[in-house]
């Protein structure tokens, strides 16, 4: 009886490979898929060739004694109604199918491992999906006091450049702006339909004036208005632009912001503020233009930058305000802070139904080592386990790594994750 083994892998790029393996009579097939930027398989073509006893297979792939395959470049041809044909090629690494005992009773951290189910063997599908960069959730609070008219215009002018530089790096950015309607963001980031320039899901304008000293208060008080823009796996960034200081202590804001949830604990605070003020007589003598521009040194903001390892930009320096350069620096900081996102889209099932109770995940360290990762029911069940879970157990669309596994993956630039469909999921014992 013929038994198909199909594997599905997640790593840099998406490749689909169908392998056949069995006993005396076998069918072999190859498939190729084109993929969208989101990592989903969008189309596939396939072809099969019969292999009879004593005969030979036709096609570009080969099988040695029916037990294993090496690196192969396979092609699939499909005939159209008028007799013409087209050929699609896919390159993948093939591996052997083997029978073994129930994997749920084995060691889930064994290097090498085997592909099996409770019946002794199973058919798997492996699709490679690209490791994505961690998304960025960015909150801007802009001082709208009368002395900030010029700065408001510069923020408005540079916001699209800032966001585009982040998006072009492959990072999915969500931007929140807390400001009155003096600032209105044009497309592509905003809608340009002032004063309501929101453009979900990437941009939201919380329309409230920010005073000289209350930027931190406004960020905290408007949590209910911007929290839906934040994502559990998003790297949080807070940016304040002001010519004054804050009336809230740095440690107070720091504690309250982190208390919003686990994804807020490692936030970065950035500030474009006065790095000195009229009290610095020597600096004022050297730079009278900026001395007149800065109402007060942003001491609290500077402390928050230091606490979180963010970027500090001078509101004015050498008689000039260099907003374009500062926003470029900020965007590069956001890009550099992004790590591998510990989530993967579940690809479309190329003409087959998927049993989400038969999914397994392997961690590959990039040096030949493999660790079979068990599944848990939810994030709450993770604890200190190096495990994975679905975003929704009833209708899953994503696979998430538990924090311990996520830390391991992000610490290893060579790390890859294989997600395999078709064999009973391994559950920690």
| Model-wide pTM > 0.85 | no
Verify that 192 and 303 share a domain, yes or no: yes
Of the three residues 337, 359, 378, the one that is the final residue of a domain is: 337
CA distances from 244 to 86, 124, 202, 217, 317 (A): 66, 61, 29, 14, 15
What token pair was written down for 121? 């063997």
Tell me the average pLDDT across 362-381: 90
Verify that 264 and 356 share a domain, yes or no: no
Of the three residues 302, 320, 337, the one that is the final residue of a domain is: 337
Largest CA-CA distance found in the chain, in angstroms, rounded: 95
Verify that 317 and 195 share a domain, yes or no: yes
Verify that 72 and 178 share a domain, yes or no: no
Q: Is 59 left (phi over 0), alpha (psi -120 to 50) or beta?
A: left
Verify that 328 and 345 share a domain, yes or no: no
Q: So what's the pLDDT on residue 122?
A: 67
Confidence of residue 21 (pLDDT cuts 50, 70, 90): very low
CATH number at residue 190: 3.40.50
Distance CA 326, CA 237 (A): 15
Backbone angles phi, psi at 148, to 5 degrees: -110, 20
What token pair was written down for 231? 């994502």
Length of the chain, please?
Answer: 429
Distance CA 215, CA 64 (A): 69
Where is average pLDDT lowest: 32-36, 301-305, 307-311? Answer: 32-36
Verify that 89 and 142 share a domain, yes or no: no
What token pair was written down for 129? 């999906």
The pLDDT of residue 112 is above 60? no
Verify that 372 and 405 share a domain, yes or no: yes
Verify that 118 and 145 share a domain, yes or no: no
List, for residues 222-261, the tens digit of each pLDDT value: 999 999 999 988 999 999 999 999 999 999 999 999 999 9
Of the three residues 322, 337, 352, the one that is the final residue of a domain is: 337
Which residues are within 8 A (CB) of 231 and not within 5 positions of it... i.e. 6 or more apart? 135, 137, 174, 263
Verify that 171 and 275 share a domain, yes or no: yes
Range picked from 53-67, 197-211, 332-346 for highest mean pLDDT: 197-211
Nearest to 205 by CA among 215, 191, 188, 216: 191
Domain region containing 59: 1-132+341-429
Verify that 177 and 243 share a domain, yes or no: yes
Verify that 333 and 354 share a domain, yes or no: no
Q: How many domains are contained in the chain? A: 2
Verify that 375 and 395 share a domain, yes or no: yes
Q: So what's the pLDDT on residue 22?
A: 37
**Residue 304's Cα: distance from chain center in Å?**
26
List, for residues 76-95, the tens digit of each pLDDT value: 333 333 433 333 332 333 33
Q: So what's the pLDDT on residue 237?
A: 97
For the chain, how far is it from start to end, CA to CA, in angstroms? 33
Share of the chain above pLDDT 90, in %: 48
Q: Which residues pair with 50 in a beta bridge?
A: 27
**More confident position, 21 or 273:** 273
């Amino acid at each position: 009886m013929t038994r198909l083994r199909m594997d599905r892998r997640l790593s840099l790029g998406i490749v689909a490979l169908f392998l056949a393996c069995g006993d005396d009579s076998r069918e072999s097939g190859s498939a190729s898929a084109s993929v969208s930027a989101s990592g989903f398989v969008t189309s596939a073509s396939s072809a099969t060739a019969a292999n009879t006893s004593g005969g030979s297979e036709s096609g570009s792939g080969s099988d040695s004694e029916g037990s294993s395959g090496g690196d192969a470049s396979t092609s699939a041809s499909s005939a159209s109604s008028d007799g013409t044909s087209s050929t699609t090629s896919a390159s993948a690494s093939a591996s052997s199918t083997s029978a073994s005992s129930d994997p749920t009773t084995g060691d889930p951290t064994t290097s090498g491992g085997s592909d099996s189910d409770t019946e002794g063997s199973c058919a798997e599908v492996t699709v490679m999906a690209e490791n994505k960069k961690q998304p960025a959730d960015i909150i801007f609070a802009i001082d709208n006091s009368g002395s900030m008219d010029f700065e408001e215009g510069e923020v408005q002018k540079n916001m699209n450049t800032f966001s585009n530089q982040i998006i072009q790096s492959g990072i999915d950015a969500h931007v929140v702006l807390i400001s009155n309607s003096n600032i209105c963001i044009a497309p592509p980031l905003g809608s340009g339909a002032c004063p309501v320039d929101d453009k979900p899901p990437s941009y939201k304008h919380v329309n409230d004036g920010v005073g000289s000293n209350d930027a931190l208060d406004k960020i905290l008080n408007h949590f209910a208005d911007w929290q839906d823009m934040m994502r559990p796996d998003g790297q949080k960034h807070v940016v304040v632009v002001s010519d004054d200081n804050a009336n809230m202590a740095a440690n107070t804001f720091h504690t309250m912001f982190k208390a919003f949830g686990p994804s807020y604990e490692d936030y970065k605070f950035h500030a474009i503020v006065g790095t000195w003020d009229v009290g610095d007589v020597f600096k004022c003598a050297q730079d009278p233009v900026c001395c007149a521009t800065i109402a007060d040194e942003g001491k609290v903001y500077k402390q928050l930058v230091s606490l979180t390892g963010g970027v500090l930009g001078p509101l004015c320096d050498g008689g000039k305000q260099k907003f374009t350069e500062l926003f470029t620096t900020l965007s590069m900081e956001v890009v550099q802070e992004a790590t591998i996102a510990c989530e993967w889209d579940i690809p479309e099932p190329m003409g087959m139904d998927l049993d989400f109770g038969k999914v397994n995940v392997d961690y590959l360290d990039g040096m030949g080592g493999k660790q079979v990762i068990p599944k848990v029911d939810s994030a709450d069940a993770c604890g200190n386990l190096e495990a994975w879970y679905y975003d929704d157990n009833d209708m899953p669309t994503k696979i998430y790594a538990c924090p311990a596994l996520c830390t391991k993956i992000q610490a290893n630039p060579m790390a890859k994750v294989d997600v395999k469909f078709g064999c009973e999921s391994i559950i920690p014992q």
